[in-house]
Amino acid sequence: MKKSTEVRASALIATGFCLGLLFNAVMHWPPGVIEIRAGAEEKSTQALQVTNAPSAPNAPTPPVPSTISGLLPDQSHAMADVGYHFANLWFAGDKENWPLAKYYLQGTRSHLSWAVRIHPVRPTSTGGQVNLNGILQAMDGSQLADIDTAITNKDTAAFKTAYRQTLEMCYACHKACEKAYLRPQVPSAPSVSILNFDPNAAWPE
C-alpha cells in the first residue's frame, strides 16, 4: 500500500514537472508566433466563407464546357491517330497480313469515333452544320464494313477498292467541313518503320 502511494506521488511530480516545462516554453516563444498562427486560422476561415458565399447578383458566370471538346485534345490530334492507323492498314492489306490489317482497321474505327465525340457537329462559314456523327455512321456501315469483309475473306482486290472508296468518303467530309486542302491519298510509305508488314518474315532477320 505504501509502495503504491509512493508511485502515484512520483507520477504526479513528473506530470507537474512536464507541464512546467511546456508552460515555460510557450512563454518564451518568439514574439508573433501565436499571432501568426491565429492569423492563418482566421484567413483560412475567411477563405472558406468566401468560397461558400453566394455569388453577387451581377457576378459573371464562369464558362462551363458545353461539349466534351472542352475536356479533350483538339480534334486534329485524334485525326492524326486516324491517319496513322489508316496508312498502316493499307500496307498490311497490300502485304496480305490480314491479322495486322484487322488490327489497324479496329484502330481506325476507334480513333474516328474518338474524333467525332470531340466534335460531333462542325459549323460552317455559311451558318450550316456538318453532322460528323451521321457521316461516320454511314461510312462505318459501308466503306469500312467493306474493308472489314475484304479482310475476313482475304480478298486483296476488294480490300484496295474499299480502301480507295473510304478515302473518297473522307475527302467528301473534309470538303463539307470547308477543309478541302486536307486531301487524303493512298500512302506511299507506312507511318511506322519499326514493324515488318510481311506476314511470312522470319524472326530474327
Confidence of residue 202 (pLDDT cuts 50, 70, 90): confident
Q: Give whichever of 71-85, 115-129, 190-204 has the largest mean pLDDT.
A: 115-129
Cα–Cα dist 97/93, whole Å: 6
Is the pLDDT reported for residue 34 higher than 80?
A: no
pLDDT at 166: 97
Among candidate residues 117, 159, 113, 118, the one with its CA nearest the CA of residue 136: 113
pTM: 0.65
- Per the prediction, the chain carries an average pLDDT of 77
181 or 13: which carries more pLDDT confidence? 181
- Residue 137 to residue 109: CA distance in whole angstroms: 10
C-alpha cell at 128: 450550316
Question: Burial, 57: exposed, middle or buried (Cβ in 10 Å; 0-12, 13-18, 19+)?
Answer: exposed
Question: Nearest Cα to 103, choosing from 77, 84, 78, 79?
Answer: 84
Torsion of CA 14, 17, 18, 20, to 10 degrees: 160
- Would you state the pLDDT for residue 150? 98
Alpha carbons 193 and 88: distance in angstroms, whole number: 10
How many percent of the chain have pLDDT more than 70? Answer: 63
For residues 45-53, average pLDDT: 37
